[in-house]
Amino acid sequence: MTPRRSALGRSTVPVTELAFGAAGIGNLFTPVTDAEAEEAVAAAWESGVRYFDTAPHYGLGLSERRLGQALRGRPRDAYTLSTKVGRLLRPAPGRGGDDLADGFAVPATHRRVWDFSAAGVRRSIEDSLERLGLDRIDIAYLHDPDDHAEQALTEAYPALAQLRAEGLLGAIGVGMNQAGLLARFIRETDLDAVLLAGRYSLLDQRGLTELLPLAAARGVGVVIGGVFNSGLLADPRPGATFDYAAAPADLLARALELKAVCERHGVPLRAAALRFPFGHPAVASVLVGTRNAAEARDAATMLDHPVPAALWTELKDRELLPPGVPTPEEAH
């Protein structure tokens, strides 16, 4: 089944329920070939995915180059593309080595420079367009402004708003793995969207405290990333990771309990993890990091898997989900 589309927040930019996260094809942690990257995008497209997200940070520009190449032959009005600003890539001749310290298995040909100035935002967009080889970017997110909040609010956000007013961007937002600062951006700016990673999942509902109700009240669209919490909810087992570190014993036990309940209802844990965020009306899309065709197809299959209302009821009865968390009645 083709994932449903909706406008992102108050914008007219459409997103599919399932979004393709392109960090993986930027060689996140391990190398991916050009062919594997191309096949991953093609498989996502065949599954109905029409929202693709990348960033300069991912593989020092490799993700943008590969994604742009894979999308170049497809009708430009048929898909939505987002990238991010806040890190400029500067050539680093003679640096040598790899970029694994920042998580990517690529040669360290460039260094990242934090820049949330207005000029930095415009430069970042120009550089991204060049790497992508496309004529426009639909959505631009401020990327991880945790330690640069004031400059991001007073310089980077107005620059994005101006690009939106000029028609060069369809929507603007902020992407982070914490909910508090995202809520501040919603209160103090006119964003279209926020991308919240890892803080609204079956294991972590911190996004519900303030951010999601505020987004719903203000008409801000929410894209949820990290629904598997970096692996624990995809395959809970000893050694699995939660937020990119070894999962603590209590969280592993909880994930195994979630899996057992899901299995009793004939539902893979991955399917429940993907469907869960859509219980909240502010959530427009779930972003899944994908590095090959098999993972792209699996994500689409899991999102389409029926999830009975009784599953959510049992999770609450067993206190695996808080009683006030909104849950989908059933998958479409």
Question: What is the amino acid identity at position 131?
Answer: R
Provide mean pLDDT across the span 256-260. 98
Average pLDDT, the chain: 96
Query: What pTM did the predictor assign?
Result: 0.96
Give pLDDT tens digits for 122-131: 999 999 999 9
What digits encode the pLDDT tens for the residues 68-115? 999 999 999 999 999 999 999 999 988 889 999 999 999 999 999 999
Cα gap 37→251, rounded to integer Å: 32
As given in the structure block, the two tokens for residue 171 are: 């929507």
Whether the Cβ atoms of residue 289 and residue 217 lie closer than 8 Å to each other = no
Q: How far apart are CA 193 and CA 211, in angstroms?
A: 12
- How far CA 227 is from CA of 93, 130, 141, in Å, comes to 38, 31, 19
pLDDT tens, 49-74? 999 999 999 999 999 999 999 999 99
The pair of three-digit structure tokens given for residue 87, joined into one six-digit string: 């890190």
Q: Please give the C-alpha separations between residue 232 and each of 17, 139, 252, in angstroms, as whole numbers.
A: 22, 29, 7
Angle formed by the axes of helices 211-218 and 180-188, to 10°? 20
Using the predicted structure, report yes or no on whether residue 318 has a pLDDT greater than 80. yes
pLDDT confidence of residue 95? 82
Asked whether the predicted pLDDT for residue 1 surpasses 60, the reply is no
Smallest CA-to-CA distance from 141 within 102, 105, 87 is with 87
Tell me the C-alpha distance between 191 and 208, whole Å.
19
CATH superfamily of 5-317: NADP-dependent oxidoreductase domain (3.20.20.100)
Residue 270 CA to residue 82 CA, distance in Å, equals 25
Rounded Cα gap, residues 183 and 284, in angstroms: 17
Domain extent listing, the chain:
5-317
Q: Could you give the angle at which helices 118-132 and 157-165 cross, rounded to 10 degrees?
A: 60
* Residue 173: DSSP 8-state: E
Alpha-carbon distance of 181 to 172, in angstroms, equals: 16
* Tokens of residue 204, six digits: 């972590």
The per-residue pLDDT for range 215-246, each reduced to its tens digit, is: 999 999 999 999 999 899 999 999 999 988 89
pLDDT recorded at residue 330 = 53
- Residue 51 catalytic? no
Read out DSSP for 262-326? Answer: HHHTT--HHHHHHHGGGGSTTEEEEEEE--SHHHHHHHHHHHTS---HHHHHHHHHTTSS-TT--
Rounded to an integer, the average pLDDT of 170-198 is: 98
Question: What type of residue is 68?
Answer: G
pLDDT at 287 exceeding the cut of 60: yes
Q: What is the pLDDT of residue 94?
A: 81
Helix (H), strand (E) at residue 225: strand 221-225
Catalytic residue of the set 51, 58, 141, 200: 58
Residue identified by tokens 């989900």 is: 321
Q: 3-class DSSP state for residue 198? A: coil
Those residues with Cβ within 8 angstroms of residue 36's Cβ, 6 or more apart along the chain or in another chain: 25, 291, 292, 293
